Amino acid sequence: MRIGFHVSISGGFSLAVQRAYESGCTTMQIFSRNPRGWTVKPMDQADVAEFKRLREQWDIGPVFVHTNYLINLASKKPDLYAKSIEQFVIDLERTEKLGAEYLVTHLGSASGQEEEWMIEQVAAALNMAMKLHPLKATILLENTAGEKGDMGYRLEQVRQVMDRLKDPSKVGLCYDTCHGFAAGYDIRTKQGVDALAGVIEGTVGLDRLRGVHLNDCLRDFDSRVDRHWHIGEGKIGEEGFRLFLNHPAFRDVPKIMETPKETEEDDPKNLRVVKKLMKM
């Protein structure tokens, strides 16, 4: 079972993989650049080579890259929509240069627009990006909490986007447990976890579930509020994670924690809890 954290790229990609190794990760997630700005610095070839060498040496993988937060593939503003596609392509290129396996993206939002319109908009953006940059990596669409008009809080919406892609084989699902819980997928009971596995199988298919964002949720079930929390200490709780982590549909899927890092102790603690719940 592969488990890791989202780690900082401050100081370079080779330092990121070092951070991942030191915190006991067997998989990892990074941003490919500053996630809250449009400006992009060219990648340092030596740093990228060292990143690849170290992840090989320490057997850390798959590597997930998360897209920039400003990207909105569903935007109704033509300039932001065009910019988002351009920036998404930059993230794709950087994902490939790093030799990372996956690029995780949210679907975006467009308040006031019909759902059908947003689905078409996102699919068109993904088709355009994949045409501009044919890829080896796989794009993973992440479910959202459905906050402020965010798309993708129902797995049916993710499926509808995939149905409109020219090459759907290059696109899978990254399931976020906090977002799912906040959007009404309850994993606190065995029946709930079975039901979620059934919904994934019935929409995108379990074979397309390539990654999990393993986060507890600070806010209530179905609250539509996205606040990640420490594993077992939020509203999902230890029993929910025990059931989810040991379920055959989810057990072997690589998992990335995006849990709060307030102190140095937070990551080791969350990793210990996951290992305890999985009896690793």
Closest CB 178 distance from Zn ion, rounded Å: 6
CA atoms within 13 A on the CB side of 178: 24
Cβ at position 256, least distance to Zn ion in Å: 8
C-beta closer to Zn ion: residue 87 or 215: 215
Could you say which residues in the range 8-67 bind Zn ion, by CB under 5 A?
Answer: none
Binders of Zn ion among residues 144 to 183 (CB under 5 A) are 176
Beta bridge partners of 173: 141, 209
Closest CB to Zn ion among residues 55, 213: 213
H or E element, residue 125: helix 115-132
**258 part of the active site:** yes
- Count of CB atoms situated within 10 Å of the CB of 261: 16
Q: Is 228 a catalytic residue?
A: yes
- Is 114 in the active site? no
Least CB distance to Zn ion at residue 29 (A): 9
142 contacts 150 by C-beta, under 8 angstroms: no
Catalytic residue status for 142: yes
Active-site residue identified among 91, 101, 150, 226: 226
133 is catalytic: no
59-78 burial string, b = 16+ CB within 10 Å, else e?
A: ebbbbbbbbbeebbbbbbee
Question: CA 94, CA 2: separation in Å to the nearest integer?
Answer: 23
Q: Which value, in Å, is the radius of gyration of the alpha carbons in the chain?
A: 18
Taking CB under 5 A as the rule, does residue 6 contact Zn ion?
A: no
Q: Name residues whose C-beta falls within 8 Å of residue 279's C-beta, 6 or more positions apart in sequence.
A: none
Determine, following the binding rule CB under 5 A, whether residue 226 of this chain makes contact with Zn ion. Answer: yes
Separation CA 71–CA 129 (nearest Å): 13
Instruction: Write down the least CB distance from residue 90 to Zn ion, Å.
Output: 20
CA 156 vs. chain centroid, Å, equals: 17
Q: How many residues bind Zn ion (CB under 5 A)?
A: 3
From 50, 194, 222, 258, active-site residue: 258
CB 210 within 8 A of CB 140: yes
Q: How far is CA 131 from CA 53, 121, 232, 237, in A?
A: 30, 15, 42, 43
- Of 176 and 216, the one with the shorter C-beta distance to Zn ion is 176
Q: 91 or 226, CB closer to Zn ion?
A: 226
Interface characters, 179-218, with Zn ion (x: CB under 5 A):
----------------------------------x-----
Distance CA 191, CA 56 (A): 39
The residue whose Cβ lies closest to Zn ion is: 213
In angstroms, give the least distance from the CB of 208 to Zn ion: 17
Residue 175 bridge partners (DSSP): 212
Residue 213 designated active-site: yes
Task: Please report how close the Cβ of residue 79 comes to Zn ion at its closest, in angstroms.
Answer: 26
Q: Of the listed 6, 19, 33, 66, which one is catalytic?
A: 66
Contacts of 79 (CB under 8 A, 6+ apart): none
Specify whether 226 is catalytic: yes
Catalytic residues: 36, 66, 69, 106, 142, 176, 179, 213, 226, 228, 258
Q: Which residues would be at the binding site for Zn ion (CB under 5 A)?
A: 176, 213, 226
